[in-house]
Chains A and B, each alone.
Chain A
Amino acid sequence: MSDTPRAMRQPFGLRLGSAAFLAFWCLLAAFPIVWITLMSFKSPVDAFAANPFDVILGPVTRERGNGLSVLDIALGLVVLFFAIKLAFSWLPGRVKAWSPAGQVWAGWIIGAMAYGVAFIFAFFLVLPFILGLLNPILGPLGTPIVGLTTEHYQTIWIERGFYNNFINSLIVVGGTVTISLTIGTLAGYGLARSGSNIAFWILIVALIFRALPHSVLLAGYLPVFVNSAEILRPWLGDNAPTLYGQPLAVIAVLVSINQPFTIWMLRSFFQNIPNELDEAARVDGCTHFQAFRWVIMPVMWPGVITTGLFSFLLAYNDYLITALLLDGTNQTMVPAIAGFFNRETTTTDQVVAVAAAVSIIAPLFLLVMIFQRQIVSGLTAGAVKG
């Protein structure tokens, strides 16, 4: 604070007010998410208890024999701390060393997956086993103090088959992100490098498409998708598919709906790459496409990753399109949770639904943790740079 000029310094009251406001906002932002996470680990009586401390400490859950002792918490935190530390210090070096040159991104995907599996193995299988041996020996340190149970997660994932929905989500989201980035980068590059009027009008029309409520388009898709077997029969014969309920059809719809946003964002990233770079490549005898593939794309990865994140969010968070275009057998996670509403008659069902909700947002939490910088840069890319 000493380097700020005296006139710029703020009175104590203002600083206090601003800090208090910030603390209040952080509480407001995190509270609902933290609270449902807590609820999902408690037995129904504790999850909907009137006393907030009962929800945090979970006495009923603890009496049923599901709880964490001081030792559990201490050891768990230590393992967690080292896992995160390793992920940021040891893992990047290993990935760089093992992956072939130029394919570091593939190395990252495999490395992150392997690390995740190793972590789950160590944290959820090895650690409980060791603790199960240690806890009875240690007396007071080993008796449970905080109630915690994973039974609702077991119910949702194993008994109710939520893993099916998870796999469907994976297919739809993976397909959407891949196709939308492939097509979007081509279009974004073309639009950024062409100063013609057509490019300008395509962008304006895309902006208008961006504003369309999705239900408008759905009213157009549904009749066609439901009857597509009959409509396509003249061309495809008897094996014409019914598009309704097909993940592929949903992927195509999601890709197209996200295209306007994707091309706007990628175009603004491409514009940051100086034109001289393509010109140099062209002088060396590259075609436009070669210049794009071998010169521009290698420096474009940050922009592609950022746009990919937003495509991921749009596809992963979607309810309206997946709820209407997919049927029960291949439902994705977000519409599937709406199916639990109807069963939600007892408080146990309600906590199971809470566990499902937390399962859905857990990957998003990881995503923000890893890609915070890219998300912020993506949000500001469209606005600040024009």
Chain B
Amino acid sequence: MKFKTFIWFVGPSLFLMLLFIALPLYAVLMGSFQVTQPVMQTVEVESCSAGFLAQTCTTEVRTIPVLDEETGDMLTTTEWVGWLSYERVLEPQRAWAAITSLNYGALMQIDFWAALRFTLMFTFITLPLVIGVGLAIALAVNNAAKSIRGPIIFISLLPFIITPVIGSLSIYWLFVGDGILTRGIENLLDRDIAMFAQAWTIELLMLFYRVWHVAPFAFVIFYAGLQTVNQDTLESAIIDGASRWDRLKYVVIPHLMPLIVFIALIHLMDAYRVFDEIVGFRAEAHVTSLQYLTFNFLQPDDAGNRAFSRASASSMLTMVGIVILLIPLLRRTWRDHKGSSH
């Protein structure tokens, strides 16, 4: 295919990606070093109130925003502030003081570090669980009679296909104060429980939800992979006296290894973006993630202002995080790509 035809085919898609992904990225990078705020002026205001014989008057100095004379809008200036927004998000002094005094609680008081801790913990705990549970379901389905496989795949796909916010809500309603499972556990333990009153129970439910939501994806891919396991190799392994466990460990899992890497890659990307669960479980008071932090900065506050510079800084930090996480996996793919082409 000639280069010109190639550009005609790829052009529209490339244009959209440049306009809506690359350009915003650049804007965010620039925005994270700038602060836009209204121009303020100080004026002396004399305010008088009626009094007997003479008015009582007070003068005070007030800071008010400068208004545009024609439109009446507030004038704003944009300043280059360097790392200021990053400092506001990271709060390095407070964080360093907390680290040197080994005060874990104080470090977790800072939104960014608490969000970072949760996001990383969430990503690395769900990763092995998703792969393990997905593989277990795939092996079990592979073991089941052919006639029931279709319905089982149908049921398994439901948690994966369901809207994430609704999925977490459906679990929320089971565990809410008078939800059916809360009542059940209360009966068993003979004490009151509140699943959404402290951070660790919410985190536990979020981990459960994410594994429930993503395990079907891993299952479908592993199941497809299991259909292509070389039967001859399996049979020769049996002749060599390999036990069931040995066959799984030395034949099946090495065969599935590329798929495991693929799922790990996709799951790292998606779990790092954890966000919908926090909305669904209404966990923002107890647990937040990096994406939620940016979302929170972007939401208008009571005065209708959005903290754009801090949002830009926190989203740049989020991006640095995902790049660091993906480097080992990308290097592996790169090596495979080079290895296969030589």
Contacts and interface: CB of A to CB of B under 8 A. Distances in A.
Interface of A: 5, 7-8, 10, 14-15, 18-19, 21-22, 25-26, 28-30, 32-33, 35-36, 39, 48, 50, 52, 55, 183-184, 186-187, 189-191, 193-194, 196, 198-199, 202, 206, 209-224, 226, 252-253, 255-257, 259-260, 263, 288-289, 292, 313, 316-317, 319-320, 324, 334, 337-338, 341, 347, 350, 353-354, 357, 360-361, 364-365, 367-369, 372, 375-376, 379-380, 382-384
20 contacts: A8-B234, A10-B143, A19-B144, A29-B155, A190-B1, A191-B10, A199-B6, A213-B273, A216-B28, A216-B319, A218-B315, A219-B308, A288-B1, A316-B163, A320-B275, A324-B295, A334-B165, A376-B224, A383-B259, A384-B221
Contacts of A29: 155-156, 158-159, 212, 216
B3 interface: yes
Interface stretch (B16-24, B38-46, B98-106, B188-196): B16-24
Contacts of B299: 324
Contacts of A202: 10, 14
B199 interface: no
Q: Which 8 A-B pairs have the closest CB atoms?
A: A220-B24, A190-B9, A256-B20, A187-B13, A215-B294, A216-B315, A380-B224, A32-B170
B318 interface: yes
Contacts of B9: 186-187, 189-190, 288, 292
A334 B183 CA distance: 28
B217 interface: yes
B316 interface: yes
A211 to B, nearest CB: 4
A327 to B, nearest CB: 10
A218 B298 contact: yes
B107 interface: no
B163 A361 contact: yes
The B interface is mostly helix, strand or loop, or mixed, namely helix
Contacts of B306: 222-223, 226
Contacts of A256: 16-17, 19-21
A246 to B, nearest CB: 14
Contact of A211 (B224, B259, B326): B326
Interface string B273-315: 1011001001000000011001101110000001010011001
Nearest to A211: B269
Contacts of A379: 217, 220-221, 224
B179 interface: yes
Contacts of B20: 217, 221, 252-253, 256-257
Nearest to B4: A288
The residue in A14, A19, A369, A379 that gathers the most chain B C-beta atoms within 10 A of its C-beta is: A379
Given A48-B178, A219-B24, A320-B295, 9 more contacts: A186-B9, A212-B322, A215-B311, A216-B318, A217-B24, A219-B311, A288-B9, A383-B221, A384-B228
B25 interface: yes
B27 interface: yes
- Chain A contact residues, majority secondary structure: helix
B173 interface: yes
Contacts of B235: 5, 8
A361 B315 contact: no
Given A36-B170, A219-B311, A223-B308, A372 B157 contact: yes
B27 A224 contact: yes
A248 B144 CA distance: 48
B151 to A, nearest CB: 9
Contact of A30 (B13, B155, B179, B322): B155
A18 B145 CA distance: 11
Given A48-B178, A220-B31, A379-B217, A7 B238 contact: yes
B174 interface: yes
Given A220-B28, A369-B154, A214 B163 contact: no
A368 B294 contact: no
A116 to B, nearest CB: 20
Interface string B155-184: 111110111111101110110101110011
